[in-house]
Amino acid sequence: MSKIRFTILSHGHIENDLAWNTATPNPGNRFNKNPEAIWGEFPSFSVLVEHSDLGWILYDTGCHPGDEKDRLPKSFTDFFPLYMDEQDYLENRLKSVGLTKDDIDVVILSHTHWDHSGGVGLFSGTKAGEKILTSGLDYSFGIANSHADISGIDGGYIKQNYQHEGLGYEFIDEDYKLAEGIELIALEGHSPLVLGLMLHMESGTYIFPSDAVSSKLNYGPPAKPPGFLYDSLGYGRAIKKLREMEKKYDAKFIFSHDNEQFKTLKKAPEFYE
């Protein structure tokens, strides 16, 4: 059995109305017709995996440092403010475990929304950057819509994240075994396709569903879809698929935007073995 370990690289946090993440979290009624919005804090992170045969694998790249400053228009950041310290930048998080961008062998983007693909430009001209793995369905949808809008932003897709030179891609739109103990899971709903990550380790199986199911509140039971959703029927199929995998492997989930769970997780430089 291949040896696998992983750690969490924190890239700050995003704040926004909880209704984007979980539809109607505080619904009105006839006694309270104008309920207040629930403002929430949601982590942004990537997952660094060491595989005894494949080397270093990075799943997602977090936000771009400029997204906190002046890269995004105020009309966007008023709704989704990002808070990053310099230590949260991807390059510095890699440094915290003794690595540089050139040490990474494989980069996987679960999907190309801004908070998952913002750091991908770091790998321009590197070995990992020659063939980044992501969903072709999601990528083509994102590049078309972000380039069509005069603002350069459509939903969670940002035009600049598709314009880095020195990057190549391999598109995967189905379940895929990357190496012994590492699988990518094709999940519908949140976007045209999200690639989840499943690690079979000596300590057990871990599933990272990314934004296909971004929190325990979404996963349930009962399942509660987000307010921001590409395909509600696809979301239901993703939940069903993940529950079958959870049962089959007795898997543990690590959700992408679950702040309560995130507080309990070990982060770099500590590893899950």
Residues 159-179 have pLDDT tens digits of 999 999 999 999 999 999 999
Supply the mean pLDDT for the chain: 96
Angle at the Cα of 231 from the Cα atoms of 230 and 234, rounded to 5 degrees: 135
pLDDT at 266: 97
- Model pTM? 0.96
Eight-state DSSP code of residue 222: S
Condensed to tens digits (0 to 9), the pLDDT of residues 71-100 reads: 888 889 999 999 999 999 999 999 999 999
Least confident of 8-12, 64-68, 196-200: 64-68
What local confidence, expressed as pLDDT, does residue 180 receive? 97
In this prediction, residues 103-123 reach a mean pLDDT of 98
DSSP H or E run through 7: strand 4-17
Residue range 189-204: mean pLDDT, rounded: 97
**CB-CB contact of 2 with 179 (8 Å):** yes
At 2 the pLDDT is: 86
Indicate whether 211 pLDDT > 90: yes
Contacts of 74 (CB under 8 A, 6+ apart): none
Instruction: State yes or no: pLDDT of 70 exceeds 90.
Output: no
Q: In 81-103, which positions are buried (b, 16+ CB within 10 angstroms) versus exposed (e)?
A: ebebeeebbbeebbeebebebee
- Given 2.60.40.10, 3.60.15.10, 3.30.360.10, 2.30.38.10, which CATH number is that of 4-264? 3.60.15.10
